[in-house]
Amino acid sequence: MSETVRIDKYMWAVRLFKTRTLAGEACRGGKVKVDGKAVKASKELKEGDIFTVQLSEITKTVQVKMAATNRVSAKLVEGLITDLTPVEMYERVEFLKEFKAERRQRGTGRPTKKERREIDTFKRDE
């Protein structure tokens, strides 16, 4: 383990992204910030640094506990990062997932044409 590590490599190593390429693309897209400023994939991180990553519906705030250049198992990730993301953010994501999912009573069948239009109108107004 080294003292500093590239941010794209670190995000891949701690499993924030599936591939290092995706981590680099997130940096180029301005989705990764250190001290509120977008950073390049080559930005060096050290212990104690805090960065934010925009992942689909959630913005994760992460503090570096220990630098890692090799990908680690999911069980070991907790030893490398401290997740500073507020619990409210996770609750909001769960709420949105449930809200977006349509639920119909069992046995009611498919919606009629009129019901389908009402559902579409409701979804557009969100």
pLDDT tens by residue, 49-102 = 999 999 988 999 999 999 998 999 999 999 999 999 999 989 888 887 776 667
Quick one: 25 and 74 in the same domain? yes
Quick one: 109 and 63 in the same domain? no
Are 50 and 62 within 8 A, CB to CB? Answer: yes
Quick one: 5 and 18 in the same domain? yes
Q: What residue numbers bound the domain in which 109 lies?
A: 87-126
Q: What is the CATH number of the domain that holds 35?
A: 3.10.290.10
Residue 4 binned pLDDT confidence (cut-offs 50, 70, 90)? very high
Tell me what pLDDT residue 110 has: 87
Quick one: 57 and 109 in the same domain? no
- Rounded to the nearest angstrom, the gap between the alpha carbon of residue 16 and the centroid of all alpha carbons in its chain is 7
How many domains is the chain built from? 2
